[in-house]
A and B are shown apart, each in its own frame.
Chain A
C-alpha cells in the first residue's frame, strides 16, 4: 500500500516533469507561445499569485499554453519518450524592390526550408528489476528525486538560453521587425533519425539522469552548433515609391495598353514588404503533432495524473482542471474527439486533423503553388472607389463600381476570387503578410465592414482547400488560434483576416483579364502612400 502510494508519487513527479520541461522549452523557443505567456505573466506579476502548476519544481512559469494540456493527455504513457523538435522554417531570400515583384525576370521566392535545429528527448526508463524500498526509504527516495528533478530543470532552463536557437527566438520575439524565418515545434513520442549530413552539424548534450528506484529520468538535447549557415535576415521594408504611370494618371495615355498578365503587371496584391512571390513548389511542413494534440480532447483525463507537488509545499490541492479548448471562433469544441489513440499506434508520425475538417488529411497546402489565394482574397475585400478620368476630350466620368454605366471602366462588384486569377496573379510569400505581430496574437477576430461575409466565405473555403495548412499550423502551435504557432513573420490565417482592411488595399482579380485596360483603384494608391509613409 505504502509502495503503491510512493510509486504513484513518483509517477506524478515524472508526469509533471515532462509537462514542465515542455513548458520551459516551448516558452523559450516558440515566439507565439512566448507572447501569450508573457502577457499572462505580466498580469500575474501584478497580482502576485502563483498557480498550482507553477509550484511544481518550484519554478514559476505562468499559465501553461492550452496545447500543453492536450499534449499531456496524448503523451501520458510515461515510458514513451517525449521528443520535442524545434524546427527552423526559413524562406529564401526576398527582393526588397517593388519593381522586382512585377518583373517577369525576378526570381521567385525559394521554398521554405525546414530544419530541425534542436531535438529534446525526455525519457523515463524503467529498469529491468525494480527495487522496492521500505516505507521510510521510499519517502526519502521520492523527495530526493524531486529535489534532483528541480536541479535538473534549473540547469535545463539556463541551458536553453545558451544554445544558438535562443538567439533566433529572441529575434522573432521582438516586435520591431519581421523576418524571413520562423520557429515551430513538433512533439511526438519518437523521432526520425537525423541524416548523416544533419548529424555532422549537430552537437549533443546529455543531462545527468535522475535515477529513481523504479526508473531513470533522462533529458538530452541534440542541437545545431551554429546557425550561421542560414541566411536569416529581417525582411526589408519597401522603399517609398510613387507609381506615376497608373491607370488614370494624368500623364498616362488612357489608350495605352499595359503589360499582359504573364509579366505580372496586373498583380492583384501589393506586398507590404519586399517579399518575393512564392514558388510553385509545395510547402512541406512537418505535421508535427503528437496525436494528443487535438483541440477536441478534453484535458480532464490528465487530472488523474496530476496532483499537488510533494511535501515541500503545503497541503495538497487538486490540480487545476483546464477548460476545454476552443476553436478559432472561441466556440468550445464538444464533438471533435478523434480516435487519436488509434492513430498513435497506426502512424509513424502523429498527425492532427484540423478543427474544421477533421476528416481532411493533412495535405500539402496549395497556397504556395505559385499563387496565394488568401492574399488575393484579401485584396478583394477592399471597397472600390471612384477614379476621376483625365480630361482627354471625352466627357469626364467617374469610375464607380455601383454605376449602371456599362462603361468598361467600371469596377465590377466584389465577388469571390476566381481560380483563373489565382494562377496568374503575382503573389507575395505567405510570410509577408504577418508583418504585424500583434495581429498574430489575436484570435477569433473578424474584420469589420464589407469584409465580414467574405471572410466567412474565405474561412469555409480555406478549411476545404488549406486543411493541410491548418493542420500543420495547429500542429506547431497547439493553440486554438489558427496560425498561432508562428510569429508574425509567418503567414497566418488570422493575419489574413486581421489585415484585410489595408494589407492588400485592392483587388482587381475580378477585373476581366482580357480587358486591355487595367484599373487600379485609387484606394490602392492611397493605401500605398499610407503604408509607405506611416
Chain B
C-alpha cells in the first residue's frame, strides 16, 4: 500500500497563535480520518474567525494538546525557527518473529506535514532588551499592521484547511477499511526533538518503513 504524503502550506505564526493553529489543523485532519461513529463538535477559534470540527473524542483531544504543549516547549528553546509537525496514520501489522525482534510493525499509509514558521513580534523582542527604550506609542499604524497580519494568518489557515479537504477528497483509495468499534485510525504525532538531526533521522526511518512516498505540494 502506498503512503500518501501531504505537505501543507507553510504558516507564519506568532508564539501565542501556535496552540490555536495547531489544534485547528490537527483536529481537522483527524476528523477526516475518524471514520467510526463520531459526534462532531464545532470549535470556534478565538484568534481567528474560523470554525473547525473535532471528532469529539476526549482522549484524542488530550493527546493532541499534550503534543502541542511539547511542541511549544521546543519552540521556546528554538526561537525563530521553521519547524514541522508530522501527523501519521498507520496500520499495525504483526511482524514475523525473528531473532532480533518480535514487535509489531507499523505500516504508515498517510502522512501530513504541518509546516510552521514561528516568528516573534518585533516589539516583543525589543521590549526584552534592558538597554533599548521601550517603544511606547503603538499608534494606529501598529494596530492596523497587527490586524492586517492577523487577517493574513487567518487567510493562510483557511487555505490550509481547504488544502486538507482537497487532499482527503482526492485520495481515498489508500484509506484502509474501517474496523468495527474503532473511531479513528491509529495515528502518531511527531514533533521536532531537541536535536534537529534526530528529527531528521526519525523522518528517514519512517520513509523507509512506508516505502515510496508520494510527495504532494
Contacts and interface: CB of A to CB of B under 8 A. Distances in A.
Interface of A: 45, 50, 54-55, 58-61, 143, 147-148, 150-152, 154-155, 157-159, 161-162, 166-167, 170, 207-208, 210, 312-313
Given A150-B35, A158-B32, A161-B51, A59 B169 contact: no
A162 B170 contact: no
Q: Most chain-B Cβ atoms within 10 A of its Cβ — which of A150, A152, A158, A167?
A: A158
Contact of B32 (A58, A61, A151): A151
A151 B49 contact: no
A60 B165 contact: no
B60 to A, nearest CB: 15
Interface stretch (B66-74, B114-122, B131-139, B173-181): B173-181
A58 B172 CA distance: 17
A408 to B, nearest CB: 60
Contacts of A157: 40, 53
A45 B56 CA distance: 12
Given A50-B37, A147-B175, A312-B180, A207 B49 contact: no
Contacts of B169: 151-152, 155, 207-208
Nearest to B164: A158
B42 A161 contact: yes
A59 B35 CA distance: 9
B32 to A, nearest CB: 5
Nearest to A309: B37
A155 B165 contact: yes
Chain B contact residues: helix, strand, loop or mixed: mixed
A277 B215 CA distance: 61
Q: Most chain-B Cβ atoms within 10 A of its Cβ — which of A45, A152, A161?
A: A161
A518 B168 CA distance: 69
24 contacts: A45-B39, A59-B40, A60-B39, A61-B40, A147-B172, A147-B175, A151-B32, A151-B168, A151-B169, A151-B172, A151-B175, A155-B165, A158-B31, A158-B32, A158-B53, A158-B165, A159-B162, A161-B53, A162-B51, A162-B161, A170-B51, A208-B169, A208-B170, A210-B172
A166 B165 CA distance: 17
Interface in B28-43: 28, 31-32, 35-40, 42
Contacts of B198: none
A58 B36 contact: yes
Given A147-B35, A208-B170, A208-B172, A162 B40 contact: no
A167 to B, nearest CB: 7
Nearest to B32: A154
Contacts of A154: 31-32, 35, 168
B206 interface: no
B148 interface: no
A148 B38 CA distance: 16
A158 B39 contact: no
Q: Most chain-B Cβ atoms within 10 A of its Cβ — which of A50, A147, A155?
A: A155
B161 A58 contact: no
Closest 6 CB pairs of A and B: A208-B169, A60-B39, A161-B51, A58-B37, A155-B165, A148-B172
A313 B52 CA distance: 27
Interface of B: 28, 31-32, 35-40, 42, 49-53, 158, 161-162, 164-165, 168-170, 172, 175, 177-178, 180
Contacts of B31: 154, 158
Nearest to A50: B37
Nearest to A219: B169
Chain A contact residues: helix, strand, loop or mixed: helix
A162 B162 contact: yes
Nearest to B161: A162
Q: Most chain-A Cβ atoms within 10 A of its Cβ — which of B39, B40, B162, B164?
A: B39
A364 to B, nearest CB: 37
Nearest to A210: B172
Nearest to B158: A162
A2 B32 CA distance: 32
A86 B165 CA distance: 22
A210 B172 CA distance: 9
Nearest to A146: B178
A161 B52 contact: yes
Nearest to A167: B49
A187 to B, nearest CB: 22
Given A148-B172, A151-B175, A158 B52 contact: yes
A170 B49 CA distance: 11
A30 to B, nearest CB: 16
A220 to B, nearest CB: 12
Nearest to A24: B40
A55 B178 CA distance: 14
Contacts of B28: 158
Contacts of B39: 45, 60
Contacts of B178: 58, 147, 150, 312
Contacts of B180: 312-313
Contacts of B53: 157-158, 161
Contacts of B50: 161-162
B157 to A, nearest CB: 10
A384 B160 CA distance: 63
Contacts of A45: 39
A151 B31 CA distance: 9
A139 to B, nearest CB: 12
B35 A151 contact: yes
A31 to B, nearest CB: 14
Contacts of B170: 208
Contacts of B168: 151, 154-155
Given A59-B40, A147-B177, A312-B178, 5 more contacts: A147-B178, A150-B35, A154-B168, A158-B31, A158-B164
